[in-house]
């Protein structure tokens, strides 16, 4: 655990209401195989020293869209650079967590925390920020297209063949949709989720 990352409380947060059995069924729903896990590990090695650039590629889309960028701004429209920088470091760490973490109970708990940090339940709190307090669920889901599309060129680095990069990307896309499914939990009632 890299305690130098502000607000990165992996292993030290409340339990997710999601059970390990529900997690297992979600893994099956995205069709995450053992081979995919191995490709994610490989992707971690490929992306390890590119995480700042990957986050930069994602944030190009955010920066070009005020309806997205505003979640780093105060309600009055003033960008909070400190908040944005702290989130960027966690976003970078998230890339490595997607690739390298065991998807176990501590990981499951942390996904619920990440989901809640997009909502009025917990947004801004880890950073004592005063930004717009809630990101609508539709943007969390829709932005996955950018997360998945724009990571792809970075997977073709470090001598990965086209087929290897393809396999890493396939595993990555399954993994991110697993994440987003878990992040949606704080947005909906237990019976609808």
User: According to the binding rule CB under 8 A, does residue 136 interact with its own copies?
Assistant: yes
Stretch that binds its own copies, among 73-81, 95-103, 108-116, 169-177 (CB under 8 A): 169-177
Provide the minimum distance between the beta carbon of 32 and its own copies in the complex, in angstroms, as a whole number. Answer: 8
User: According to the binding rule CB under 8 A, does residue 37 interact with its own copies?
Assistant: no
CB neighbour list of residue 151: distance below 8 Å, 6 or more residues apart: 47, 54, 57, 95, 169, 172
Nearer to its own copies, 5 or 68 (CB): 68
Closest CA to 165 of 176, 174, 156, 157: 156
Q: What is the DSSP string of 114-127?
A: HHHTTSTTTTTGGG
Stretch that binds its own copies, among 6-14, 43-51, 65-73, 75-83 (CB under 8 A): 65-73
- The residues pairing with 74 across neighbouring beta strands, listed in sequence order, are 131
Taking CB under 8 A as the criterion, the residue among 2, 3, 4, 25 binding its own copies is 25
Contact 25, 168 (CB under 8 A): no
Please give the sequence-ordered ranges of beta strands (E in DSSP) within 42-170, or none if there are none. Answer: none
User: According to the binding rule CB under 8 A, does residue 119 interact with its own copies?
Assistant: yes
Residue 28 to residue 30: CA distance in whole angstroms:
5
User: According to the binding rule CB under 8 A, does residue 13 interact with its own copies?
Assistant: no
The helix/strand/coil state of 79 is strand
User: According to the binding rule CB under 8 A, does residue 33 interact with its own copies?
Assistant: no
- Which positions touch its own copies (CB under 8 A)? 22, 25-26, 28-31, 61, 65, 67-68, 119, 134, 136-139, 141-146, 148-149, 162, 170, 173-174, 177-178, 180-182, 184-185, 187-188, 191-193
């Amino acid at each position: 655990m890299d305690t130098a990352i502000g607000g990165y409380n992996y292993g030290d947060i409340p339990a997710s209401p999601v059970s390990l059995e529900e997690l297992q069924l979600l893994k099956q729903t995205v069709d995450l195989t053992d081979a995919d896990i191995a490709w994610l590990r490989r992707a971690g090695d490929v992306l390890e020293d590119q995480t700042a650039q990957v986050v930069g590629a994602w944030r190009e889309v955010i920066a070009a869209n005020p309806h997205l960028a505003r979640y780093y701004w105060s309600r009055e429209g003033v960008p909070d650079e400190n908040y944005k920088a702290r989130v960027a470091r966690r976003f970078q760490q998230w890339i490595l967590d997607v690739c390298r973490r065991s998807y176990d109970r501590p990981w499951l708990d942390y996904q619920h925390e990440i989901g809640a940090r997009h909502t009025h339940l917990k947004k801004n709190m880890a950073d004592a920020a005063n930004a717009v307090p809630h990101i609508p669920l539709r943007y969390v889901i829709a932005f996955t297209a950018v997360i998945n599309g724009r990571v792809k060129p970075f997977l073709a680095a470090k001598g990965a063949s086209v087929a290897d990069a393809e396999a890493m990307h396939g595993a990555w896309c399954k993994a991110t949709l697993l994440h987003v499914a878990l992040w949606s939990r704080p947005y909906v009632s237990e019976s609808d989720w």
